[in-house]
A = this chain, B = another copy of it.
Amino acid sequence: MNIKLAKNYGFCFGVKRAIKIAESTQNASTIGPLIHNNEEIMRLKKNFNVETLEDISHVSGTKKAIIRTHGIPKQDLQFLKEKKVDIIDATCPYVTKPQKICEKMSKEGYDIVIFGDEMHPEVKGVKSYASGKVHVVLHVSELAALKLSARVAVVSQTTRKVEEFKEIVSYLISHYKEVRVFNTICNATFENQDAARELSKESDVMVVVGGKNSSNTKQLLHISKEFCSDSYLIESERELEASWFEGKEQCGITAGASTPDWIIKKIIEKISNFKV
């Protein structure tokens, strides 16, 4: 069986940057997991004493707080400042951008639509920067129920699919006079998705590596399944099952934006050793 890696996969710019910040800070705490990858978080704890706090309420006693890639709500940032905690901001610059857009557009009087998952920490953070009307929608069908003003600004969670973002925008422009569209979807997400699509077309089994609560990893799984029904999402090599690869000829591997290379390496090794 041939094993082939996607042309683009794994760590994005923001994650590489956040890990570098965490490694060079040491003895700090992150508010919520720094990135969506448990294995990497355990490595940072072990090698650099970087703790992960469940949420902001556990911050007392913390001297240095690292803001994770997804960012945190404006109110939480204010809370840390009041507590005189040293703040090390590892928010991905691609996430800081929609935060700033929300703040600015609210001030200019636009109603704001965020395309994304209301429960996702990135979206919670971005939403908190809107001072006026703001709505989070995950599907175009939710828009009909909203009553917005004639001027609407729209941003996207960085890891959403651009095709669905276009549907949201198309609805808005046929219902509102001015729609100010900020495409805040991250290029890295596109590139990993495109590469997963291409690879899954030529594979008869696909392994997607990444956090099971990671939005962009789940998107990769979804795309892989479109073209290769035998697609599996795993977080570590321990979850691999030999039976997945029986009778297969082409195994494709891709990984979410929060997946470190050392995990992918272990997975390739284990698959290579299966007797199939």
Chain A residues engaging chain B, CB cutoff 8 angstroms:
162, 165-166, 169-170, 173-174, 176-183
- In the complex, the count of this chain's copies comes to 2
Residues of B near A170 (CB, < 8 A) are 166, 169-170
A178 touches B180 (CB 8 A): yes
Q: How far is the CB of A143 from chain B (nearest CB, A)?
A: 14
B178 touches A173 (CB 8 A): no
From the candidates B177, B178, B179, B183, name the one contacting A174 in the complex (CB within 8 A).
B183
Bound-state CA distance A183–B174 (Å) is 7
What are 27 A-B pairs at a CB distance below 8 A? A162-B173, A162-B174, A165-B173, A166-B170, A166-B173, A166-B174, A169-B169, A169-B170, A169-B173, A169-B181, A170-B170, A173-B181, A173-B183, A174-B183, A176-B183, A177-B182, A177-B183, A178-B180, A178-B181, A178-B182, A178-B183, A179-B180, A179-B181, A179-B183, A180-B180, A180-B181, A181-B181
Residues of B near A173 (CB, < 8 A) are 162, 165-166, 169, 181, 183
Among A169, A181, A183, residue most surrounded by chain B Cβ atoms (within 10 Å):
A181
Residues of B near A181 (CB, < 8 A) are 169, 173, 178-181
Residue of B nearest to A177 (CB): B183
Residue of B nearest to A174 (CB): B162
